[in-house]
A and B are shown apart, each in its own frame.
Chain A
């Protein structure tokens, strides 16, 4: 009896070690040392990127001569304080598209865990046979860079001097900006109720805006309270319009009698720069078969935009806002360099979409 317990404990420990080895990808790593198939080549390279073993991952490329190693690393680690600099590659999915004896095309979906939530990046990757093994042909980033120059920027900037803490009540002060909710539409979604709409800064100064909503039941009691959180462009310049979306998970429309909306605005220091142009916007189906609104962002200013955030309001034929979606862009916006973006649009809603309005919000290390 005395020996059974230590043996039992030893057995449990062994099982746990084996489980840990499996879950940490030990099997996959062992299998992947030799890339005998195109999928293995891609999987091996991505596993090494996941483990921050960039040298080994780079060594798996068939076109190392054309691909700059630092540029390759920056594609996964980010640059200029972009979203990828605050993220890690959590996992990835791989599946084949075309295959022949010498060349194959694989589609990969990279799941990043970022400071603002999960981020997916879908890419088609070519894999070429080189002797006995398969190697990844990494596309060369040919993005044009603006030549060194001085760009004069003379847009307005607003600073705020408020009333001091010690000042007497009633002395001259600057009021908070006037903002107005232009529209609100409550939609029942499978996972809850969503409020979508638009808010405008009606004032002549910038505003830091947040929209909140309280749901009231038939007896007039408050049943839930939420805010737009990051589904809004918080800093609105004078007369700027932003979409907003407020999600109430696990809520049913039948429970709601009334909605109390509350747009809060604060005076905020802001700059009218940079102006970001949104080109080639169109609703299309992405390689995974999902409806997306895609386009290109172009930073018209001279300062790098670290984390662009795209928010889109979709309208039906009556001009009513029927949905708001948003997405963070992994790459920074360098001056004058177009960067693609795509934000999801639910398939059932896309049928009713007649037009849309894109707003670009941005977060920077220096200012936001």
Chain B
């Protein structure tokens, strides 16, 4: 009888633990680092260094991961890691106004194709074009007011920070050729 009581207790604890683990795994899966492919065929005038060609897509992916989380949870602090300058100002402003209006933006990221356009001769700024595939949902509280998959194009300025590349400006374009 005693053994039965203990084993049922154990099973309950195990179920609780498993549900916590499952919840965290789901949360982690929701917030995966997006896929980013970098094409540097047309980069000029400075050739890209090996290390930079690895760190730019990595940091850009992490920037999107934190941006998506920041816009969904309305947490401006998450922007500190990978954003600076106008990009940080703009997204901070967006999150503050989302908070004021009770809105959230949820992205499902289906990947980014980055094309490096300009890398300054002194290596202090890089301009890129991002062909992104995203599903965007805008929610008012729990109510979905907008839901659309989109093929977006962004013009991005990235600048080197102490140990990473930071997104300085990101501007969606309608895809028109300049």
Contacts and interface: CB of A to CB of B under 8 A. Distances in A.
Does A touch B (CB under 8 Å) in the complex? yes
Interface of A: 169, 260
Nearest to B169: A169
Contacts of B168: 169
Contacts of A169: 85-86, 159, 168
A27 B79 CA distance: 64
A169 B168 CA distance: 9
A169 B85 CA distance: 7
A260 B50 CA distance: 11
5 contacts: A169-B85, A169-B86, A169-B159, A169-B168, A260-B51
A260 B54 CA distance: 15
B21 to A, nearest CB: 32
A142 B142 CA distance: 85
Interface of B: 51, 85-86, 159, 168
A91 B159 CA distance: 53
B48 to A, nearest CB: 16
3 nearest A-B pairs in the assembled complex, by CB-CB distance? A169-B85, A169-B168, A169-B159
A135 to B, nearest CB: 60
A339 B122 CA distance: 46
Contacts of A260: 51
Nearest to B85: A169
A169 B157 CA distance: 12
Contacts of B51: 260
A169 B86 CA distance: 9
A260 B85 CA distance: 31
A248 B51 CA distance: 22
Contacts of B159: 169
A169 B161 CA distance: 13
Nearest to A175: B122
Contacts of B86: 169
A169 B51 CA distance: 24
A96 to B, nearest CB: 56
B160 to A, nearest CB: 12
A161 B159 CA distance: 22
B73 to A, nearest CB: 26
Nearest to A264: B162
A124 B99 CA distance: 76
A260 B168 CA distance: 28
A260 B86 CA distance: 34
Nearest to A169: B85
B35 to A, nearest CB: 22
A167 to B, nearest CB: 11
B167 to A, nearest CB: 12
A260 B51 CA distance: 11
A169 B159 CA distance: 10
B79 to A, nearest CB: 16
Nearest to A262: B51
A189 B159 CA distance: 40
A260 B52 CA distance: 14
Nearest to A168: B85
A169 B158 CA distance: 12
Nearest to A170: B125
Nearest to B157: A169
A170 to B, nearest CB: 9
A252 B3 CA distance: 58
A227 to B, nearest CB: 13
Nearest to B86: A169
Contacts of B85: 169
B54 to A, nearest CB: 11
B87 to A, nearest CB: 11
A117 B38 CA distance: 46
A322 B85 CA distance: 47
A169 B125 CA distance: 11
Nearest to B51: A260
A368 to B, nearest CB: 22
